[in-house]
Amino acid sequence: MKRSIFIGYDPRQEREFEVAARSARRFCRASVSPLRLAEVRALGLYRREVTRRGGQLFDPISDAPMSTEFAISRFLTPRLAGSGWALFMDSDVLVRGDLDELFEQANPHYAVMCVKHVHKPKQGVKMDGQIQTAYARKNWSSVMLFNCDHPANAALTDELINTAPGRDLHRFCWLNDGDIGSLHQKWNWLVGHSDPIVNPTIVHFTDGTPLMPGYEDQPYADEWRAAEERGIHGRTRGTPKARAFA
């Protein structure tokens, strides 16, 4: 079974991306690729207009702000992977354990598998001043395991991705509820929101990463900094070269 991993890339979060990518490679044999907006635009796959409003990225189709460049382009993951199972993750994560174990849980009955959070954050701002947007199934799409060969995902067309409001894509509008499989919360553990007794494999710093003021001392921040330090000593900083998408 082909396995691939895509991690959202935003130039404002390059250090976060590096930690996410290198921690993923440390614990998995699958290929790991950045999902860069400029690259999917160059491929002709992403044609949505992106503007700025109040200093923040804004999607006119959704009439809503975007926290990152990959807020909507993430749904191109099955197209980029081509076949098999493909994992998408936000860049503000830390992988702490075996991702091959996650791929072993892949159930061909489902088109996508995710942690089905009941996450209703307070309105306001998060991360580096980004507007906290509320929508149905909040954070389900921040870690997604796609079955690229599932017939239901044929409805996730380029046209849909380029015309549907982001809130509809984030609630998996192209799927029936029965097509969405459930993962244990250890696979997308939201700092400050998920069950504190869980030993997470994927820690998601959804409100703000340890680099951001006010979030330096949150759970797993020390592990995140240690992972960054390993990367600094192990290479010259810089994002991985682009790979040829399937």
Going residue by residue through the chain (246 aa), what tens digit of pLDDT does each one get? 899 999 999 999 999 999 999 999 999 989 999 999 999 999 999 999 999 998 899 999 999 999 999 999 999 999 999 999 999 999 999 999 999 999 999 999 999 999 999 866 655 554 554 455 666 898 999 999 999 999 999 999 999 999 999 999 999 999 999 999 999 999 999 999 999 999 999 999 999 999 999 999 999 999 999 999 998 876 544 444 444 454
Distance (Å, whole) CA 110 – CA 93: 24
| E strands present in 97-188 | 112-114, 124-126, 130-132, 143-147, 180-182
Residue ranges of domains in the chain: 3-234
* pTM to 2 decimal places: 0.89
pLDDT at 120: 66
pLDDT at 239: 47
pLDDT at 189: 98
- Token output for 211: 């680099």
pLDDT at 178: 98
Which residues share a beta bridge with 131?
125
Distance (Å, whole) CA 240 – CA 47: 24
Give the amino acid at 209: T
pLDDT at 128: 59
pLDDT at 1: 84
Nearest to 56, CA basis, from 123, 132, 169: 132
Give helix 14-26 / helix 221-234 axis angle, nearest 10°. Answer: 90
Give residue 11's region: left, alpha or beta (phi > 0; psi -120 to 50).
alpha
Has domain 3-234 been given CATH number 3.30.428.10?
Answer: no
